[in-house]
Chains A and B, each alone.
Chain A
Amino acid sequence: MRVPWPFRRESPQGAGPRREFAEALDPQPPLYRSPTLKALVSRLSSETSYHILDLGVASGANVEFFSRFSGQLQIADLPDALASEELRSLLRTDPAAAFRRLLPVAWKQFDIVLAWDVLNYLSRDQFRCLATHVTSLCQPGALMFALVSTQKEMSGVPQVFKIVDEQTLLLQPRTTAVQLSPRFPPAEVERLMSGFSVVQSVVMRHGVREYLLVRH
């Protein structure tokens, strides 16, 4: 049976990252099933404590969800920083310095990074600098969850993603404005995230590619 585009399985090339179908709960956001979140959670143990870096906006639902594990959740709220003209200016002129200032001190060795859709709002230089800085903050084996837009347009500001359960996300737009999406192709994401390898990559029905990456 010919499968329509949103559910088309991509043929794995060689030993590349595994790809799966995306199963949406609803044809449109805000509520959708996230196989990559499920894959991330399935790799966690309630017997282990984790240090988690959340690059997105604080969400009570996500705090509640991760409170089933012990450890520490660090919320960086990069969307708030991206809204600041001073920091936007610094990001343009010296992105490495900007991320050193924005993100936690280097001794924090995180086990999990939740990037959500923040990467879509960075230039390639900024993306590379953030990836380099985050790599230095993570333990080898650390996992990163990221969402990269594949559509021409995307929300004008990073959105809020609330974890409903271990495989369901609620997308909470913060504006009706849209802007052009950089549409980072998978090969470029892998190149920019040089400290990480793609474990899983899934195209979702609503034009987002989910990534689960692991720190080398």
Chain B
Amino acid sequence: MAAERPGERAIIGPSITIKGDVTGEEDLLIQGRVEGKVDLAQHNVTVGANGRIKANIFGRSVTVEGEVDGDLHAEEQIAIRKSGRVRGNVSAPRVTIEDGAMFKGSIEMERKAAPRPVVGSAGAAAASPPPPVAGAPGSTVPPRPGEPKHPERSG
């Protein structure tokens, strides 16, 4: 296998259409069309502004400037730029969506170490007891079948 050269990446040009799976050991910029699976789990995948993808994409990080109809999975980060259009589900430790981007689908959220929202100490809203939120501590509402609502407390 050829050694990876920093700063370089493979390119699928705008006139190229691939029907099938794409795998590899280097970063990839897609400006063409891909229908299948894109699996570069250890590398960065960029769907350029001209890219049109009907596929699930696996990468270390995934950046979308074009169109994707499929799910996105990244080890580190998914970024949907303002020109990006994504219909599918995304899963990554960090997901960013720029203003103007179109996204329709679900985002798996992993809790970040963000400051807790400050609950107002004054005012009736903070003083009144909360309604039962499904799965919340003390709630009588059971979690979804097969889905632990409090995985961090299950062990």
| Residues of A near any B CB (own CB < 8 A) | 18, 20, 35, 38-39, 41-51, 58-60, 63-64, 66-77, 80, 104, 107, 109, 111, 139-143, 160, 165-167, 172, 199-200, 214
Contacts and interface: CB of A to CB of B under 8 A. Distances in A.
B108 to A, nearest CB: 6
Nearest to A199: B131
Interface stretch (B18-26, B31-39, B46-54, B99-107): B99-107
Contacts, number: 138
Nearest to B148: A49
Given A47-B150, A49-B135, A60-B99, A42 B126 contact: yes
Summarize B's interface: helix, strand, loop or mixed.
loop
A68 B108 CA distance: 12
A166 B136 contact: no
B134 A140 contact: yes
A68 B116 contact: yes
Contacts of A43: 130-131, 133
Interface string B120-136: 10011110101111111
Interface residues of B, number: 46
Contacts of A75: 103-107
Interface stretch (B5-13, B56-64, B69-77, B90-98): B90-98
B125 A38 contact: yes
Given A42-B117, A63-B97, A73-B109, A58 B104 contact: yes
A45 B135 CA distance: 10
Nearest to A66: B109
A36 to B, nearest CB: 8
B79 to A, nearest CB: 9
A41 to B, nearest CB: 5
B116 to A, nearest CB: 6
Given A60-B99, A63-B109, A109-B134, 13 more contacts: A35-B123, A39-B125, A41-B119, A58-B101, A63-B97, A66-B109, A67-B95, A71-B109, A74-B105, A107-B144, A111-B133, A166-B118, A172-B99
